[in-house]
Amino acid sequence: MTSASTPQISVEELDKKLKSADPFVLLDVREDWELSRARIVDNRFHALPMSRLGREGTVALPPAAKAPQTEILVLCHQGVRSATVADWLKSQGWTNVFSVSGGLEEYARRIDPSVGSY
């Protein structure tokens, strides 16, 4: 469940960003077994399973996401974990974080079925 303060980005907005040259980090917090079934291919994509993030905290973030002002779009399967992580990152001082509403499932259904689904 997302909180009222969780900034969201739609899958359509994500698609526009992916088609742009804009710098951002697409942080996928799904687990390894999920990543093997479906994923977005982009050089701004970084996989960081939520379980690892929970164990290691912000030190586990990829180098591209270390600066608190970095635009980070958090992705998961359906948008629940990504909202949790987005809220947590904001509580840790990151200021430009968004959860992808509907997650990879919605992205595959509405934008690009070739990314896969499960």
Domain assignment present for residue 92? The answer is yes
Domain interval for residue 56: 8-115
Domain assignment present for residue 79? The answer is yes
Domain assignment present for residue 1? The answer is no
Q: Which of 14, 38, 48, 76 is catalytic?
A: 76
Tell me, yes or no, if 66 is annotated catalytic. Answer: no
Domain assignment present for residue 3? The answer is no
Domain assignment present for residue 100? The answer is yes
The predicted-structure confidence for 28-45, as pLDDT tens digits, reads as follows: 999 999 999 999 999 999
Q: What is the mean pLDDT of residues 42-49?
A: 98
Number of folded domains that form the chain: 1
Domain assignment present for residue 22? The answer is yes
Domain assignment present for residue 36? The answer is yes
- Tally DSSP H helices, then E strands, for the chain: 5, 5
Question: pLDDT band at residue 1, thresholds of 50, 70 and 90?
Answer: very low
**CATH for 70:** 3.40.250.10
Q: Are 72 and 27 in contact (CB under 8 A)?
A: yes
